Amino acid sequence: MMRRKDCDNSRLHTPRRILIALVLLSCGADRASAAVIRLHPTATAIQTEVRLGQVAELVGFSADQAAQLADLVVVEQLEAGREITITTVQINTLLAGNKVNLADVVMRGASRCTIRRPVDLTPANTTHAEPSSLTLEAQLRRYFEERIREYGGQLELSYGRNIQPLLLLSGPEYEFTIRPRSSRLLGQLELSVTIQHGLQPPQVEPVTVQVTLTREVVVAKRSINRSQTITAEDVRMEARSFQDLADLGLTDLQQTVGLRAKQLIATGDMIMTTQLEQIPLVQRNEEVRILSQQGGIALETTCKALESGTLGQVIRVRNETSRKVFQVKVTGLRRAEVFGESAALLAQKSRKDQTP
């Protein structure tokens, strides 16, 4: 049996990927339940490279585990002014590729995260020391308002009594640098505040703050049945408070009108995107008019839909004469358009049909 000392020495030469797996496995027996990776629905990137700690909250890990996992790269390059969406499936693939035992990790939060990188961005994750007459409390509020600005609404901040004296300090006598300890934007957050007073050595203070966002969201004015098409009379706006971005609802009535409810929504319930679906313009087994444009020639034929589809969705259809299956894009009520190789195949079939 390997002695503890030998085991510890052997880890000194373990590659980084294996080390992450060993750290997770070593604590598996100590945890009463699996650790959690809670994916945020949205995130803002400062640099081209995006890491796991920027898009997800790591709960139940030790400090070493959280640091190693947070450093995993989920997007290698995101250009300014662009956005990209990652899913929990991609996160699980990333973890498995780094030898993480997925049985020890539970994915929660959003099913996908949209990451945006603005063209001009002053880093929101760090407020650098600058001469100001504002108190620390005022600078903290400005810091959080910048981080949460894209979500709108009103912020409420509450602090523990032990740091009340620090909140009254103000510049230019004092200068402050605020750094977060996690990527979360709402709820109970931990910050690190560096206080510089003249030529004295800087003082680093931990700050705990409860951040609550209140904003208007769409709620059901009356009970909405499953499969019911939502009208303007079914919904209204109402102010709600949130401490987790994953719980944020829709902010515009037009985001719901004309869509269909996937489940029963009770009166007063906040309406979420996951509860809605577009109404299919093409139903499975229906005849669909298919338009094909190839070489400047527009052709139209009729095929049978093998699946239902909404506007812009790609579905499979079958030509009942040739029995060939094509991919088409839904363009209207029982109408679609072929593209790519499908367009060429359909055009070839039409030419054969027209040959005497």
Please give the Cα distance from 159 to 27 (Å, whole number): 33
pTM surpassing 0.85?
A: no
Q: What are the C-alpha distances in Å from 257 to residues 13, 238, 250, 260, 277? A: 59, 16, 12, 8, 11
The alpha carbon of residue 288 and the mean position of all alpha carbons in its chain are separated, in whole angstroms, by 35
Higher-confidence residue: 187 or 1?
A: 187
Please give the Cα distance from 187 to 190 (Å, whole number): 10
Q: Measured at the alpha carbon of residue 162, what is the angle toward residues 156 and 166, in degrees to the nearest 5?
A: 75
Topology given in CATH for the domain delimited by 287-354:
SH3 type barrels. (2.30.30)
Residue 63 φ/ψ, nearest 5 degrees: -60, -40
DSSP 49: S
Q: pLDDT tens for residues 46-104?
A: 678 888 887 888 888 887 788 788 889 999 888 877 889 999 889 988 998 888 888 88
* Second CATH level (architecture) for the domain 4-117: Sandwich (2.60)
Domain ranges in the chain? 4-117, 122-220+235-252, 287-354
Residue 311 near residue 331 (C-beta atoms within 8 A): yes
Q: pLDDT tens for residues 232-265?
A: 999 999 999 999 988 988 888 888 988 899 999 9
